[in-house]
A and B are shown apart, each in its own frame.
Chain A
Amino acid sequence: MTSLSTRCAGVRIAAVGAAVPKGLRAIVEETRYFPTADLQKISESTGVGSRRVVSAATCTSDLCYHAATAVLEKAGWTRDSLDALIFVSQTPDYVLPATACTLQSRLGLSNCVAAFDVNQGCSGYVYGLWVASALMQGGGVDRCLLLVGDTITRAVSPADRSTALLFGDAGTATLLEGDPAAPAMFFQLGTDGLGAENLIIPAGGFRKPMDRELVAERARERVNAACDADLHMDGGEIFTFALKRVPPLITETLTAAGWTADDADYFVFHQANAFMLRHLAKKLKLPPPKVPIALDGFGNTSSASIPLTIVSTLAAQLEGSRRLVLTGFGVGFSWASCAVQTAGLRCAPLVEVDG
């Protein structure tokens, strides 16, 4: 066993929605820092032809707010029927208070609501499903709003070849409700903190606080460099990590659920980059139609990528009962996978947000 294995029963995923900024940026147009030949090569490898980018005035919470509004309407749920709100992000509005608290009032939810933030990225959606379901099993929480998203483009140096052209922004909302008839969800979760340095924003927390010098460095034009206030990513190390951890993770998830790979309808992976996903799918012998790749037009949206992929590529495919394997892996290093049999899962139409 490579991970913690657990399960949650009596919880159904009712609906999923997503919101992205209107701002669409094409990779081949990013010639300010990079030569065209490089842009084309990177774009082909990552599978990102264009991605959605927020302005400096927009936060993850804003995107999640719009996704929540859309999904509540799609499901026909009233705001005061919600018992809990969980916000999963690594780009929150504030260090404190929890962004979930501010969203409670913005969305007009009751005060009798438990609301808190969860700090995870690539594994964040599956972590969110697990935390929400586990809490719901305890009783008292019949309906939960799970908001998951990130605005990573705001954390990246525009001159850093390894990060500037990959990410996109998105916010998503998932509605969970108690349902004794719902099949159990099976979760595998694991962590390796030795990989922490490979995907990190070194400054801005309390280990290395922001200071005047860093602010000035960030504002300066720089070539092929990032300062400690920017996201650092070692693509090679992360690829090695994924090759090592993801195949056994998928195998263990299927075994826990009692499924073969053939039994599963879709394998929705965190959309890290197309090259990596195709390689993993090939290695696991998964037929390409079962492995949606939705990087083009969106980019790598960190925690939002799994639900965004569901909304953007599977909305018409989820009528009736479907067996999904959802797998997130990356920053931390953290990984989490879930086998879930959905029933009549509805998707709200994708929302495009100004700003």
Chain B
Amino acid sequence: MTEADFVGALEEILEVDSGRLKPGTSLADLSEWDSVAVVSFIAVVDERVGVTLNAKSIQGCTTVRDLMGLLGEAIKPA
């Protein structure tokens, strides 16, 4: 999965316009990033990357880049 794929998938989960999210976007600024979004995110990562993230590690993230960081090498640069 590339960085662009990841950001695009996140935009889809949050139902925001394409291009709205950047790696530096702060999660606290996104009203759409709620408990339903977190669960959807876990599901999408499980389905598309085959990794099961845990909720605690997601809670520790403050930016989109942090979320990407949880997947380590599974994310290739754009």
Select one of A45, A234, A279 contacting B55, CB under 8 A. Answer: A234
CA distance A331 to B53 in the complex (A): 20
A275 touches B39 (CB 8 A): yes
Per-residue interface assignment for chain A, residues 266 to 282, with 1 indicating a CB less than 8 Å from any chain B CB and 0 otherwise = 00000000011001001
- The stretch that binds A, out of B21-29, B40-48, B60-68, B69-77, is B40-48
Q: Please judge, given known A-B contacts A236-B55, A236-B58, A279-B47, whether A243 and B35 are in contact too, CB under 8 Å.
A: no
Q: With A243-B52, A244-B52 as given contacts, are A236 and B38 in contact (CB-CB < 8 Å)?
A: yes
Inside 8 A of B53's CB, which chain A residues have their CB? 240
Report if B78 contacts A (CB, 8 A): no
Determine the chain B residues whose CB is within 8 A of the CB of A161 once the complex forms: 35
Q: How many chain A residues have a CB neighbour from B under 8 Å?
A: 18
A235's partner among B35, B46, B47, B59 (CB-CB below 8 A) is: B35
Q: DSSP majority for the B interface? A: helix
Point out the residue from A162, A237, A244, A275 that lies within 8 Å of B43, measured CB to CB: A275
For A198, the closest partner residue in chain B by CB is: B55
Residue in A45, A236, A279 whose CB lies within 8 Å of B46: A279
Point out the residues of chain B lying under 8 angstroms from A236, CB to CB.
35, 38-39, 42, 54-55, 58-59
Determine the residue in chain A with the shortest Cβ distance to B32: A41
Known contacts A282-B47, A283-B46, A283-B47; A235/B39 CB under 8 A:
yes
A window 236-268: CB within 8 A of B: 236-237, 239-240, 243-244
Q: Which residues of A contact B38 (CB under 8 A)?
A: 235-236
- The answer, yes or no, to whether A42 is at the interface (CB within 8 Å) is yes
A239-B55, A279-B47 given; A42·B36 CB < 8 A:
yes
The complex places the Cα of A161 from the Cα of B40 at a distance, in Å, of 17
Q: Whose C-beta in chain B lies nearest to the C-beta of A234?
A: B55
A74 to B46, CA, bound (A): 44
Cβ-defined contact, A240 with B36, below 8 A: no
Per the 8 Å Cβ criterion, residues 152-191 of A in contact with B are 161-162
Q: Could you tell me the distance between the alpha carbons of A234 and B53 in the complex, rounded to whole angstroms?
A: 14
- Answer whether residue B20 sits at the interface, using C-beta atoms and an 8 A cutoff: no
Interface residues of B (CB under 8 A from A): 35-36, 38-40, 42-43, 46-47, 52-56, 58-59
Q: Can you list 6 pairs linking A and B with CB atoms under 8 Å apart?
A: A236-B38, A236-B55, A237-B54, A243-B52, A244-B52, A275-B43
